[in-house]
Amino acid sequence: MATLLLLPGDGIGPEVCAEVRRVAAALVPSLVVEEAIYGGASYDAHGTPLTDEVRDRALASDAVLMGAVGGPNWADAPRHLRPEAGLLNLRKAMNVYANLRPAYCFEALAGASSLKTELVSGLDIMFVRELVGGVYFGEPRGIDVLPDGQKKGYDTALYTTSEIERAGRVAFELARGRKNKVHSAEKSNVMESGLLWKQVITELHAREYPDVELEHILADNCAMQLVRAPKQFDVIVTDNLFGDILSDAAAMLTGSLGMLPSAAIGDPNKPGLYEPIHGSAPDIAGKGLANPLAAILSFEMALRWSLKEVEAADRLLAAVKGALDAGARTRDLGGELSTVQMGDAVLCRI
């Protein structure tokens, strides 16, 4: 029997995860849903955002779904014990090297985008962001005091051939099931790690995926093109740092940040880590105002990628679209539904 480990975390995390629980019970009754403490809540209880026990339970489960971590309460926690550090450690421990971040525009919400409707209607981009390498983890890094009293802060942006290849493979495979087009974004004109990125993707493409259309694009131009004409993109593969920034910009194109899920996957027989793109939103936490759809859609990705319940995933996606088409809107979408009411709108369509 498959196990899903829920890590509700902080802020609105517990509220949106409660809706995932209801959806899971209705949709896949056989799924065992467990829960563990994580993030700021774990720091408060155990002095660390990720205990060894929770990490081991994550590794032993079939999929992990996180609510949200962090918030102003933990701003003064030591850096390596902040909720965000727990997140980075969990990604690394689970070795989920490919972060799939859709920037998908639900037809019912196209009018809510900052962009003119015709530029985003039908938008469907999938980012493959490398998630366990690059400047996020490279060594050496630190802040040193120089002889003259000045400080020097430094980080290492670093990629190896195999790290780039495995992220690239995920992108090319995905593209084959979509519009067959991959953009690889880097700054090969100024970074050596970017130049290696471009070379490795070029060779991987020629060797294993010559049938997929590949375009190299500089990260700055990619940011620009995402605003100018986002529908030119299908799959975008990029490094950890550029992926963070570009996918956030793209998420906003859809006009519905409270809607967007993500999946972090690694080796096929290992659990994936699923999380909404949104943060912990401390300002509305506990008020029943949060949109649970990003978490519910993250569960949809978990069904598809880790739990191999593709048919259930399809049904869930249809239920979410149905709810939106019927006008269900939480406050972030300009409506008045509560978190639970939005959950109901999905549940009654499953």
Ligand X SMILES: CC(C)[C@H](C(=O)O)[C@@H](O)C(=O)O
The mark string for 21-60 relative to its own copies (x by CB under 8 A, - otherwise) is: ----------------------------------------
- The response to whether 129 counts as a known ligand-binding position is yes
Residue 190 as a binder of ligand X (CB under 6 A): the answer is yes
- The response to whether 55 counts as a known ligand-binding position is no
Interaction with its own copies in 218-237: which residues (CB under 8 A)?
A: 219-221, 223-224, 226-229
Q: Residue for token digits 């529908």?
A: 231
Output the smallest distance, CB 185 to ligand X, in A.
Answer: 13
Instruction: Just list the catalytic residues.
Output: 136, 187, 220, 244, 248
SS3 349: coil
CB nearer to ligand X: give 285 or 346: 285
20 contacts 299 by C-beta, under 8 angstroms: yes
Q: Sign (positive/negative) of CA torsion 36, 40, 41, 46?
A: positive
39 contacts 87 by C-beta, under 8 angstroms: yes
Indicate which single residue of 44, 48, 55, 84 sits in contact with ligand X (rule: CB under 6 A).
84
Q: Please report, as a single letter, which amino acid is at residue 127.
A: F
| Element (DSSP H or E) covering residue 93 | helix 83-94
- The response to whether 258 counts as a known ligand-binding position is no
Q: Which two tokens stand for residue 17?
A: 């995860």
SS3 50: coil
CA–CA distance, 18 with 33 (Å, rounded to integer): 11
Indicate which single residue of 162, 176, 267, 325 sits in contact with its own copies (rule: CB under 8 A).
162
CB nearer to ligand X: give 245 or 340: 245
CB nearer to ligand X: give 137 or 338: 137
Residue 206 as a binder of ligand X (CB under 6 A): the answer is no
CA–CA distance, 102 with 123 (Å, rounded to integer): 10
Interaction with ligand X in 231-250: which residues (CB under 6 A)?
A: 244
Indicate which single residue of 189, 192, 287, 348 sits in contact with ligand X (rule: CB under 6 A).
189
CB nearer to ligand X: give 86 or 343: 86
DSSP per-residue codes, 192-241: HHHHHHHHHHHHHHHHH-TTSEEEEEEHHHHHHHHHH-GGG-SEEEE-HH
In this structure, how many other beta carbons lie within 10 angstroms of the beta carbon of residue 140?
8
Strands 272-274, 263-265: parallel, antiparallel or unpaired by DSSP?
antiparallel
State the residue number with the nearest CB to ligand X: 84
Contacts of 176 (CB under 8 A, 6+ apart): 209, 211, 212
261 contacts 313 by C-beta, under 8 angstroms: no
Output the smallest distance, CB 244 to ligand X, in A.
Answer: 5
187 contacts 181 by C-beta, under 8 angstroms: no
Strands 181-186, 124-130: parallel, antiparallel or unpaired by DSSP?
unpaired
Q: How many residues bind its own copies (CB under 8 A)?
A: 59
Interaction with ligand X in 3-62: which residues (CB under 6 A)?
A: none
Beta bridge partners of 143: 153
Residue 106 as a binder of its own copies (CB under 8 A): the answer is no
Contact stretch for ligand X (CB under 6 A) within 82-90, 113-121, 284-292, 315-323: 82-90
| Element (DSSP H or E) covering residue 14 | helix 13-27
CB nearer to its own copies: give 159 or 305: 159
CB nearer to ligand X: give 242 or 305: 242
Output the smallest distance, CB 147 to ligand X, in A.
Answer: 31
Binding residues for substrate: 91, 101, 129, 220
Binding residues for Mg(2+): 220, 244, 248
Q: What does the binding site for its own copies look like in residue numbers (CB under 8 A)?
A: 79, 82, 84, 88, 114-116, 119, 135-136, 138, 141-143, 146, 150-162, 187, 189-197, 200, 219-221, 223-224, 226-229, 241-242, 244-246, 248-249, 251-253, 257
